[in-house]
Structure 1
């Protein structure tokens, strides 16, 4: 197949459900736009209430985060990403995300994540690995439990 034969596709985020980011949090939600098994990449929206501290995680690949709403930072850094901000995270970096209440009641970010996110507890023990495959599993389980017709989130041809 040649790239000229691949049709352009559009995904409307309102056509996809917000999925709880369980077991980590019942207040944090992920909207899976694409989980790419070829490139090992996920494209997601993340929504969290202000004041939320997410688990520390380590990146095996790069991550690009665009802040749509609110403000957030990593405990390990001094910068703050506010609405319209873009953060580039290098492979091999570790962070603890915090949604900052002084920038509104919630944060919403667009995340393009390559590779695995390794989650650690407070003693730096590995407790979970998140990637495109776990995203598909979480999405399909949510759809089944809530009688939602699943879409093929591994393809842009939805």
Structure 2
């Protein structure tokens, strides 16, 4: 049975590549830890420079963001998330991310993000321009590994 094969596990982040978030932002880098096809959940570390430009987006599920370096916010809110802060986004929320400061850091805002469901990118008229989810993330990861001759891990299983 599957549950007998599931055990406490660790994934060494140093063994995973930083993958550019193309075609949206080549300067935003993602390190995928887990891409769950059953729950539609993705666990990813994100690095974004001060000039990050990601489009406004809508979440179909919840999102939890833990900030480890730098400061960022959503244009639609007056709060700023910095190191040690946790942002909880409700399902059906829509916002536009922006980096506030990378001062005193590695030059990036760094976050650990747990996304459930789809990330729907919108244009200025609220028309859908792209949809990201665990499956598109897996395709991006596998294509990056193939292009750079990196052995791909099975990110759909936590081991």
Q: TM over 0.5: same fold?
A: yes
Give the Å deviation of 1:52.
Answer: 1.6
CA–CA distance in structure 1, aligned partners of residues 149 and 3 of structure 2: 36
C-alpha change, 1:154 and 1:2, in structure 2 (3 Å) is closer
Q: Aligned pair in 2 of structure 1 residues 103, 122: CA closer, same or farther (>3 Å)?
A: farther
Confirm or deny: 8 A CA contact 1:51 1:101 kept in the other structure. no
Q: Which runs of 5+ in 1 are unaligned?
A: none
8 A contact 2:71–2:109 mirrored in 1: yes
3-state DSSP of counterpart to 2:113 = strand
Q: Which residue of 2 aligns with 1:25?
A: 25
Q: 1:113 aligns with which of 112, 115, 134?
A: 115
**Count of paired positions:** 157
- Paired residues of 2:102 and 2:109 also in contact (CA < 8 A): no
**Structure 2: distance between partners of 1:119 and 1:98:** 15
Alpha-carbon contact 1:82-1:103 (below 8 Å) kept: no
Shift of 1:74: 0.1
TM-score (norm 1): 0.94
Question: Quick one: distance in 2 between partners of 1:17 and 1:5?
Answer: 26
Match of 1:125 in 2: 127
SS in 1 for 2:124: coil
Deviations 1:32-54 (A, max 9, x none): 00000011000000101013232
- CA drift of 1:7 comes to 1.8
1:63 and 1:119 map into 2 onto residues whose CA distance is 15
1:144 to 136, 143, 146: 146
Query: Hey, what's the Cα distance between the residues in 1 that align with 2:102 and 2:137?
Result: 30
- Residue of structure 1 in register with 2:43 after alignment: 43
TM-score of the two chains, using structure 2 as the length reference: 0.94
**Large movers: runs of 4+ above 2 Å:** 1-6, 101-105
Contact 2:62 2:89 in 1 (8 A): yes
> For 2:134 and 2:101, how far apart are their aligned partners in 1?
30
